[in-house]
Amino acid sequence: MKSFFALFTESPNSFQGQEPGERIVLFLRRHPFTILIKVIGISLGFILPIVVSIVFINYIIFYGFFYVYLFVVSVLALIAWIMIAYTVTMYTLDVWIITDTRILDSTQHGFFNRTVSELHMSRIQDVYIKTEGTFQTVIGFGDLFIQTAGTEERFMFYQIPQPLHVKDVIMSIAFPEEHKPTPPNS
């Protein structure tokens, strides 16, 4: 029982496939703002029909449909709840892990479609960030791209918080002689 509740207590991050002695430097998810927008959208889709139906509430009560109405609302809430849960699950399972030796990108494209790719620090050639739009600039999140050797595909981090700091951290690990990491929020 104690071990079950240990699932919810803070512990140092570890992941499947972690090598002995490998240290996690950064653990990243998309910026919470990106999920907040989706959750608000779904919630509005649920709340709007209820707000509209309140206009007809007298009619609903007069003809004895009040319990039917409550049941329909509860079913709508159930649908909204499961849609939010799915969205949050996809958000939670999309992670980027930066360790002292490599970068791991785990992306969930639906329940049964998942890609995990990794890149060793020695293969990094160039790192650059892209912040575009009002929200990204004001709130402080953006995309980060890692160019690897040869014709290999770029490694991409989407909508991560503080991309400049992340870039500095990656550069300081990949090229320790030339780069020193800047503190976050700078």
Partner 1 sequence: MLALNINLVLLGLVLIIVLSYWIFVFIIFYHLVRFGVGTLPKTLSAFFVLGSLVLFSTCVFLFSTINFGALTQQTLQSINGTLQKQ
Place of tokens 């958000």: 91
Q: Is 33 in the site for partner 1 (CB under 8 A)?
A: no
Which range, of 8-16, 140-148, 163-171, 174-182, touches partner 1 by CB under 8 A? 8-16
CA distance 77 to 72: 9
Parallel, antiparallel, or unpaired for β 124-130 and 114-120?
A: unpaired
Minimum CB separation of residue 133 from partner 1 in Å reads: 26
Examine residue 56 and tell whether it contacts partner 1 (CB under 8 A).
no
Binders of partner 1 in range 90-149 (CB under 8 A): 92-93, 95, 97, 106, 108, 111, 114
Of 66 and 175, CB closest to partner 1: 66
CB of 6 to partner 1, least distance (A): 9
Query: What span, in angstroms and rounded, lies between the C-alpha atoms of 36 and 88?
Result: 9
Q: State the Cα–Cα distance between residues 128 and 124, nearest whole angstrom.
A: 11
Residue matched to tokens 């991409």: 156
| 1 vs 7, beta carbon nearer partner 1 | 7
The beta strand positions in the chain, using DSSP E, are 24-28, 95-99, 102-108, 114-120, 124-130, 141-148, 155-161
CA 23 from centroid of its chain's CA atoms: 22
Interaction between residue 28 and partner 1 (CB under 8 A):
no
Single out the residue of 70, 125, 152, 176 in contact with partner 1 (rule: CB under 8 A): 70
Which residue ranges make up the site for partner 1 (CB under 8 A)?
7-11, 13-15, 27, 59, 63-65, 67-68, 70-71, 74-75, 77-78, 81-82, 85-86, 88-89, 92-93, 95, 97, 106, 108, 111, 114
